[in-house]
Amino acid sequence: MLSNLFPNIDVQDFWVATYETFYMTILALIGTVIFGILLGLLLYMTTKGGIWENKYVNWATAAVVNVFRAIPFIILILLLFPFTEFVVGTIRGPNAALPALIIGSAPFYGRLVEIALKEVDKGVVEAAKSMGAKTRTIIFKVLLPESMPALVSGLTVTAIALIGYTAMAGVIGAGGLGNYAYYFGFQRREFDVVFLCTVAIVIIVFIFQFIGDRITNKLDKR
Amino acid sequence: MITIDGLRKIFTTDQQDIKAVDDLNLSIKEGEIFGVIGYSGAGKSTFVRLLNRLEEPTSGSVVIDKQEITSLNTNELRLARQEIGMIFQHFNLLWSRTVKDNIAFPLEIAGVAKQEREARVQELIDLVGLSGREDAYPAQLSGGQKQRVGIARALANRPKVLLCDEATSALDPETTNSILDLLVDINQRLGLTIILITHEMHVIRKICHQVAVMENGKIVEQGDVLDVFLRPKQKVTRKFVEQVMGTPGEEESITELVEAYQEGKIVKLHFVGETANQALISQLARRFPIDINILQGKITQTQAGAYGTLFVQIVGDPAECSRALAHVADETSVEVEVIRDAE
Ligand SMILES: Nc1ncnc2c1ncn2[C@@H]1O[C@H](COP(=O)(O)OP(=O)(O)OP(=O)(O)O)[C@@H](O)[C@H]1O
Ligand SMILES: [Mg+2]
């Protein structure tokens, strides 16, 4: 059926491309969660009045976050070529896209994490302090659980931006649906390929949005 | 139990320095319910937060149970805080945890083993009367129930002291009373020292033994609750007493009373913490062949007994009336003042 409607599609290639998009998105998301939460926590904890109040660390972290958010993603990939080659050993394929994807979206997610943490009731943090909690306990048992719905909905937004980034990365050789649409659709003027890739990406975005919303609602006991 | 010496907290803001707590000296006995009352901005919250160093003092010392809180390092302070319970106006529960898990939180912090934790949580849930609600989330509870969770949580590690900052100010009068009853119950059963901050004299009257009145960061008046009710010295204190006893415009109406009730004696009975003879009026009527007619008055209950005044008319044989009044004066702590003698 697929081959009737879309004569130029190679089913095998299409599934590989879809798989690669998922692969890049999920792995980049894992990296983004780790680095984003670290950045967000660092911003929140070192801010004025924070538990680790430190003007310099806060300023430096904010500077890194702002600089990397200011660089357009497509430029960031090019800029990171030497770094990618050093870390991954190649500049082609889904794995080569990961450093750029993570570095591109972690600062964005870091800001969302910071906002989520700021929403946590100060009184609850204070209550934990009054019970004699260690800072580690405050982070893992108060700050993160109490901001979890916002952390997850922020991650949903980030994931969707990431899917867009994977398509851009695809155009310069990272694989995935973006790559497939560009090389096999656009360059060969076979627009049914472009169209099907678009549909596939939209469906993937919807899947992420749906799962994200479900988890957010389930977590929120307020 | 608690000794506070020269305690001071100055907030430095861009515009000015605010002396939130200004050279405070206080000593609080073990097992006491100690009330601190004052208007908004008097420095009450700052004071109570200095006791467990949620706010760092500018100078002065706080000693709780022989331990100088103000000289502890971070780690020692953490351990000391596990023995100082605190409850808050807005409850400050973790919305992401159930009632049970909220109460278990301080036990987790103190490193109590899981089994022991569960047993202790159940004990506390029973103590504060929340049986059956252990798996509810805070969002599913009423304000009063939330504060019960707050109290259970504060008691989890068997603290020596309980700090309460406006613990009932977000609650309606009925719920306030039930929470206050719970605090008295805990105080009596566990012998816990309680420091309670409020701006409602009603709260002081109902449960406190001692009261300190705060104004502009200073304690302007302090003493037994009853003494303060009886002989308020400062203007602020008088205003707080009026919150409970009403304004003293009543004196004017006494002349009207005297005119309206021509017969017998008119007597003012002053209750100053009477506990043994609560049924005074009916006792008098039974023991002496006289009639007693209550004309006007207001009595309120404090932890030290009844407090207030009653105006009564006593009709009967003058000798019997005098004997009845002598009985009151000799056998009870009620003060007698004859407003008008029988003709
Ligand atoms: N963190 C702070 N920075 C600057 N000033 C503060 C700070 N906290 C409190 N103050 C000031 O200290 C004074 C005392 O405040 P505090 O909160 O102790 O009053 P309160 O008696 O508890 O009042 P309320 O009944 O409204 O709770 C106020 O003038 C307040 O503006
Ligand atoms: Mg206050």
- pLDDT, residue B249, reads 58
- B257 shares a domain with B157: no
Instruction: Please tell me which residue, B259 or B277, carries the higher pLDDT value.
Output: B259
Which DSSP string do the residues of chain A spell out, in sequence order? Answer: -HHHHSTT--HHHHHHHHHHHHHHHHHHHHHHHHHHHHHHHHHHHHSTTSTT--HHHHHHHHHHHHHHHHS-HHHHHHHTHHHHHHHHS-SSSHHHHHHHHHHHHHHHHHHHHHHHHHTS-HHHHHHHHHTT--HHHIIIIIIHHHTHHHHHHHHHHHHHHHHHHHHHHIIIII-HHHHHIIIIIITTT-HHHHHHHHHHHHHHHHHHHHHHHHHHHHH---
- Greatest C-alpha distance within chain A: 69
Atom index in ligand 1 nearest the CA of residue B44 equals 21
Residue A208 CA to residue A43 CA, distance in Å, equals: 27
Give the mutation target among B7, B12, B45, B54 for probing the ligand 1 site: most ligand atoms within 8 A of CB. B45
Rounded to the nearest integer, the mean pLDDT of chain B is 90
**Same domain (yes/no): B199, B290:** no
Bridge-based pairing state of the strands B335-340 and B218-224: unpaired
Rounded distance from Cα A119 to ligand 2 centre (Å): 22
Question: How high is the pLDDT of residue B232?
Answer: 87
Return the residue whose CA atom lies nearest to atom 11 of ligand 1.
B20
pLDDT at B276 over 80: no
Band (pLDDT 50/70/90 cuts) for residue B72 is: very high
CA-closest residue to ligand 1 atom 17: B45
Q: Which residues, at least 6 apart from A8, have a Cβ–Cβ distance to it below 8 Å?
A: A184, A185, A188, A190, A192, A193
CA B305 remoteness from chain centre: 13
pTM: 0.85
Ligand 1 atom at shortest distance from the alpha carbon of B45: 22
Q: Tell me, what CATH number does B56's domain have?
A: 3.40.50.300
pLDDT in tens, B83-98: 999 999 999 999 999 9
The Cα B322–Cα B6 span in angstroms is 53
Query: Nearest residue of B to residue A144 by CA position?
Result: B96
How far apart are the C-alpha atoms of B181 and B199, rounded to whole Å? 18
Given a contact cutoff of 8 angstroms between Cβ atoms, the answer to whether B228 and B237 are in contact is: yes
What does the pLDDT read at residue B199? 92
- Distances B307 to B185, B205, B247, B289, B300 between C-alpha atoms, Å: 21, 10, 15, 27, 5
Which of B52, B105, B139 lies closest to A221 in CB terms? B139
Report yes or no: B106 at the A interface, CB cutoff 8 Å: yes
Mean pLDDT of B126-145: 94
Q: pLDDT above 70 covers what percent of chain B?
A: 97
Overall residue count recorded for chain B in this entry: 343
* B188 lies in the same domain as B263: no
Name the residue of chain A whose CA is nearest to B106's CA.
A131
pLDDT at B277: 66
**Average pLDDT taken over every residue of chain A:** 92
Q: Give the nearest ligand 1 atom to B38 CA.
A: 21
Give pLDDT tens digits for A156-174. Answer: 999 999 999 999 998 888 8
Asked whether residue B278 carries a pLDDT value surpassing 70, the answer given is no
Beta carbons of B203 and B42 less than 8 angstroms apart: no
Residue B336 · residue B312 · CB < 8 Å:
no
Phi, psi (rounded to 5 degrees) for B281? -60, -45
Residue, of B254 and A87, whose pLDDT is higher: A87
**B299 and B197 in one domain?**
no
Same domain, B69 and B147: yes
Q: Which of B92, B146, B165 to mutate to test the interface with A (most CBs of A within 10 A)?
A: B92
Cα of A130 to nearest chain B Cα, Å:
6
> Do both B97 and B165 map to the same domain?
yes
- Asked whether the beta carbons of residue A132 and residue B54 sit closer than 8 angstroms, the reply is no
Taking the Cβ of residue A222 and every Cβ of chain B, the question of whether any pair is shorter than 8 Å is answered with yes
Q: If you search the block for the tokens 């108060």, which residue do you land on?
A: A142
Task: Point out the residue among B92, B153, B157 whose CB comes nearest to the CB of A126.
Answer: B92
Q: Read off the CATH number of the domain in which B291 is found.
A: 3.30.70.260
Same domain for B227 and B264? no
Do B33 and B85 sit in the same domain of this protein? Answer: yes
Which amino acid type is present at position B134? Answer: E
Instruction: Check if B138 has its Cβ closer than 6 Å to any atom of ligand 1.
Output: no
CA-nearest residue, atom 16 of ligand 1: B43
A166 within 8 A of A174, measured Cβ to Cβ: yes
A131: tokens are 């019970």
Nearest CB partner across the interface for B94, out of A130, A142, A219: A142
| Nearest-CA distance B23 → chain A (Å) | 24
| B169 & B306 share domain | no
Angstrom distance (rounded) from CA B196 to CA B47: 11
Multiple choice CATH, A2-219, 3.40.50.150, 1.10.3720.10, 3.40.50.300, 3.30.70.60:
1.10.3720.10
Mutate to test the interface with B, among A117, A119, A125, A131 (most CBs of B within 10 A): A131
Q: What is the pLDDT of residue B252?
A: 59
By C-alpha distance, which of A162, A167, A218, A158 is closest to A197?
Answer: A167
Please, which pLDDT band fits residue B321 given cuts at 50, 70 and 90?
Answer: confident
Please, what sign has the CA dihedral across residues A188, A193, A198, A200? negative
φ and ψ of B274, to 5 deg: -75, 125
* B135 and B268 in a common domain: no
- Nearest Cα of chain A lies from the Cα of B6 at a distance, in angstroms, of 23
- In this prediction, residue B248 carries a pLDDT of 61
State the distance from the centre of ligand 1 to the C-alpha of B58, rounded, in angstroms: 15
Kindly identify the ligand whose nearest atom is closest to the C-alpha of B88: 2
Which residue among B11, B89, B163 has the greatest number of ligand 1 atoms within 8 angstroms of its CB, and so is best to mutate?
B11
CB-based neighbours (< 5 A) of ligand 2, an ion: B 45
Cα(B44)–Cα(B215) distance, integer angstroms: 9
Please check the confidence at residue A190 and state whether its pLDDT lies above 80. Answer: yes
pLDDT at residue A1 in the model: 59
Atom of ligand 1 nearest to the CA of B9: 12
Amino acid identity of residue B243, one-letter, is Q
Task: Check pocket membership of B13 for ligand 1, CB cut-off 6 A.
Answer: yes
Instruction: State the pLDDT at residue A180.
Output: 87
Number of domains in chain B: 2
Of the candidates B296, B188, B210, B291, which has an alpha carbon nearest to the alpha carbon of residue B252?
Answer: B296
Last residue of one domain, picked from the residues B244, B272, B296: B244
Cα distances from A64 to residues A103, B239, B274, in angstroms, run 11, 58, 72
8-state DSSP, B138:
G
Question: In this predicted model, what pLDDT tens digit does every residue of A113-151 receive, in sequence order?
Answer: 999 999 999 999 999 999 999 999 999 999 999 999 999
Enter the ipTM.
0.89
User: What is the spatial distance between Cα B305 and Cα B80, in angstroms, rounded to a whole number?
Assistant: 35
Q: Give residue-wise pLDDT tens across range B45-60.
A: 999 999 999 999 999 9
Give the number of other Cβ atoms within 10 Å of residue A49's Cβ.
6
* Type of residue found at B78: R
Task: Report whether residue B54 contacts ligand 1, using a CB cutoff of 6 Å.
Answer: no
Of B191, B219, B244, which marks where a domain is finished?
Answer: B244
Buried b (16+ CB within 10 A) or exposed e, A119-131: ebbeebbebbbbb
CA distance A132 to chain B (A): 4
- Closest A-chain CA to B95: A222
Same domain, B87 and B180: yes
- Cβ distance of B92 and A127 shorter than 8 Å: yes
B119 at A interface, C-beta within 8 A: no
* Domain extent at residue B317: 251-340
Domain boundary among the residues B181, B212, B244 is at B244
Please give the pLDDT value at position B90.
95
- Asked if A215 has any chain B CB less than 8 Å from its own CB, the reply is no
Rounded CA separation B269/B171 (Å): 35
Pocket test for ligand 1, best of B24, B36, B46 (most atoms within 8 A of CB): B46
pLDDT bin (cut points 50, 70, 90) of residue B241 is confident
**Radius of gyration of the CA atoms of chain B, in A:** 24
Give B21-40 as a DSSP string: EEEEEEEE-TT-EEEEEE-T
Q: Beta B305-316 vs B290-302: how paired, if at all?
A: antiparallel
Spell out which residues of chain A touch residue B80, defining contact as CB-CB under 8 Å: 132
Residues B132 and B7 in one domain: yes
Closest CB to B78: pick one of A121, A134, A219: A134
Q: Which of B80, B81, B94 sits opposite A146 (nearest CB)?
A: B94
